[in-house]
Structure 1
Amino acid sequence: MTTIRIPVAGGMAIMADELGDPDAPTVILGHGGGQTRHSWDRAGHELAEAGYHVINYDLLGHGESDWEPEGDYSMERRASDLAEIVKCARGPFAFVGASLGGLSAMAAACHGVVPAALVLVDVVVRLSEAGVDRIVGFMSANPHGFASLEEAADAISAYYPDRKRPGSAEGLRKNLREGPDGRFYWHWDPRFLTGGRPGRSLEDMIATAQWPQTVPTLLVRGMKSDIVTDEGVDHLAERIARLEVADISGAGHMVAGDRNDLFNAAVIAFLGRVMPTRQPEVVCKQG
């Protein structure tokens, strides 16, 4: 694995981990809002072991990637970032995007950065407003940070009591940054929750785009999610002609974190069909 720096518009940079054979079909992993690329660590390695070239990136305003100085985290901006990231691919590429990463992938496709395949992880065009409000409430709840990693772990457990709490909070260091005051803050720019220049909604973009008629798409849905509803799935199915749905039992919105085994299996099986790592051999018949 190699960490790379990808220049994007405005003199900024996206940081990413690169795995696998660069000449293989590329899978670009985009995490959810408020996360970092480390949420894909296991998935990235398993995709590389399956023969794919993997680019696992921190979204702008997250992790080690730069923060947008004007606070512009619009869908147009994220589409622009992905247009630069795909330059790391030497052949066909797929987007795998969770939540905000999935919305960004759809926006990029609407702006002409069309993948060979798309995997949406617990995200649809019409999200549950109640579920979104709950997430935003959690992410906005501690503007002054946490006194310790344990305090941050307590906040996560209160928000998501169904997930088993790790024995140690040290793993949270990847998602937190220590401020000069010694307190721990989430590793993202708070302005991404509200930042963005006025533009077309994703629903309007998709209504006039061509890719929903041609791109094979997998929706991996956490069956305990409060973000994706049956109505949201039906709405998406009406717009994406080649949509498949993989329902992951026992998983909430953070599907890969809740049931990584089932998630990886579903994604690798789907990509193996629609974007295989090697072309099938042609058998010549004699006679």
Structure 2
Amino acid sequence: MRMFSNDRFYSPDGLHLAVETRNGAGEPPLLFAHGFGQTRGAWNGAADALAARGCRCVSFDSRGHGQSGRVAGGDYHMDQFASDLHALALAQPEPPILVGASMGGLLGLVLAGEARPAPFRALVLVDITPRWEAAGVERILAFMQAHPDGFADYAEAAEQIAAYLPQRRERKSEEQLKPLLREGTDGRLRWHWDPAMLAGVVRESERYQPRLLAAAARVDVPVLLLSGQRSDVVSRETVAEFLKLVPHARHVEVPGATHMLAGDANDAFTREIAAFIEDVYPDGVARPTIPQEVH
């Protein structure tokens, strides 16, 4: 079994992944997998709240993101990301509940449908279904591909995020932005992700859809699908298709939330996960108290 060391986890191909564990002795274990272009920081609010209520919460930066390693030569493939997630799940004291947003949810869906035994006790899919709305994904990719020359300062980066996420009331501070940006040798600030990652993952994403649909039909663990009412990535049509493939799944639409569901409505998001944990675990297993209010 691969072990954590100094907040690093080594993937099957030797790449280091930055990992953060909250309440390491707690139970049940939750493994958080972020979306494309995000970092483990996307889960801070939910992971803090659930760890405080007894859960072991493990979050990580996917390869090519945040503080994790980058692939030499920029040759990224979806199977690499899936292999990383599988290894992290197997490293937990027992099969974890996966909380996966967007890309993280799709990777979890593939593993839950294809790997036997399933590496997860249950799945929480955060605003993602095996088939997605192209316009929403194109909007995300356009943001990630913009500003290849970076930003002169944190204020300029904050302005771009505010334009991309107009539903957020507060702009990100410099401290909040530091984990999301890297300073280049030219002194300019660029996003944390490896730009070489974009071409490979985007190229493979469409080819992944038949595999995702087939995997979904084989998922036999409990599933909670959380979608944002204002999402442009998940729609009523894609949700309906998913629920036909996974008839035992439970779907909850979070009012007012967009595709960035955890950040838009963290309190509601966390309460739904806590309630799901109570449904998944039988009597006699330590479970968190459902939070009535999360700050």
TM-score by length of 2: 0.87
Structure 1 distance, partners of 2:147, 2:70, is 19
Tell me, yes or no, if structure 1 residue 251 matches structure 2 residue 260: no
8 Å Cα contact 1:223-1:252 kept in structure 2:
yes
Shift of 1:54: 1.3
Give the CA deviation at 1:100: 1.2
Counterpart among 217, 225, 228 of residue 222 in structure 1: 228
Counterpart amino acid of residue 128 in structure 2: V
Q: SS of 1:157's equivalent?
A: helix
| In 1, Cα distance between equivalents of 2:217 and 2:251 | 18
Could you say which residue in structure 1 is the equivalent of 2:159? Answer: 154
Identical counterparts, % of pairs: 38
Tell me if structure 2 keeps the 8 A contact 1:6–1:15.
yes
Partner amino acid for 1:92? P
Tell me: CA distance 1:213–1:163, structure 2 relative to 1, closer, same or farther (3 Å): same
TM score, norm. by length of structure 1:
0.89
Q: Is the partner of 2:105 in helix, strand or coil?
A: helix
Deviation per CA, 1:37-67: give whole Å up to 9, x if none. 0111121111212222111111111011111
Secondary structure in structure 2 of the residue aligned to 1:194:
helix
- Residue number in structure 1 paired with 2:240: 234
The answer to whether the 8 Å contact 1:23/1:53 transfers is: yes
Distance in 1 (CA, whole Å) between partners of 2:283 and 2:126 is 21
1:205 Cα deviation after fit: 2.6
Task: Report the residue type matching 1:140 in the other structure.
Answer: Q
2:84 to 81, 85, 91: 81
Structure 2 Cα separation of the partners of residues 22 and 84 of structure 1: 19
In 2, the alpha carbon distance for the partners of 1:212 and 1:228 equals: 21
Pairwise CA distance, 1:252: 0.8
**C-alpha separation in 1, matches of 2:169 and 2:205:** 40
Following the alignment from structure 1 to structure 2, what is the Cα–Cα distance between the partners of residues 53 and 212?
A: 27
> How much does 1:83 deviate?
1.9
**AA matched with 1:24:** E
Structure 1 residue runs of 5 or longer lacking an equivalent are 281-287
Deviation at 1:199, TM superposition (A): 9.4
CA distance in 2, matches of 1:17, 1:109: 23
1:35 to 38, 43, 49: 38
Evaluate the alpha carbon distance shift between residue 126 and residue 211 of structure 1 in structure 2; reply closer, same or farther with a 3 A threshold: closer
Change in CA separation of 1:268 and 1:135 when aligned onto 2, cut-off 3 Å: same
- How far apart are the structure 1 equivalents of 2:33 and 2:23? 17
Q: Distance in 2 between matches of 1:72 and 1:235?
A: 33
Contact map agreement 2:106 2:212 (CA 8 A) in 1: no
What SS is found at the alignment partner of 2:7? strand
- Distance in 2 (alpha carbons) for counterparts of 1:168 and 1:277: 43
SS in structure 2 of the partner of residue 203 of structure 1: helix
Moved more, 105-114 or 143-152: 105-114
1:272 partner SS: helix
Distance 1:213 1:67, change over 3 A: closer
Tell me the alpha carbon deviations over residues 153-191 of structure 1, each in whole angstroms, 9 at most, x when there is no partner.
111122222221337343111211111211111111112
- How many Å separate the matches in 2 of 1:179 and 1:272? 46
Residue 189 of structure 1 aligns with which residue?
194
The equivalent position to 2:143 in structure 1, one of 131, 138, 141, is 138
Query: Matches of residues 38-187 of structure 1 in structure 2 within 5 Å?
Result: 38-112=41-115, 113-166=118-171, 168-187=173-192
Counterpart residue type for residue 59 of structure 1: S
**3-state secondary structure, aligned to 2:130:** coil
Give, as a single letter, the amino acid of the residue that structure 2 aligns with 1:33. F
Letter in 1 for 2:193: W
Identify unmatched segments of 5+ residues in structure 2.
Answer: 287-295
Q: Distance in 1 between matches of 2:120 and 2:242?
A: 18
* Cα gap change, 1:223 to 1:257, in 2 (>3 Å): same
Number of residue pairs the alignment of both structures matches: 279
Distance 1:278 1:103 in 2: 31
CA distance in 2, matches of 1:8, 1:119: 23
Deviations 1:59-115 (A, max 9, x none): 111011111124343221111101211132112311101111111211222341431
Change (3 A) 1:22 1:146: same
Tell me the residue number matched to 2:17. 14
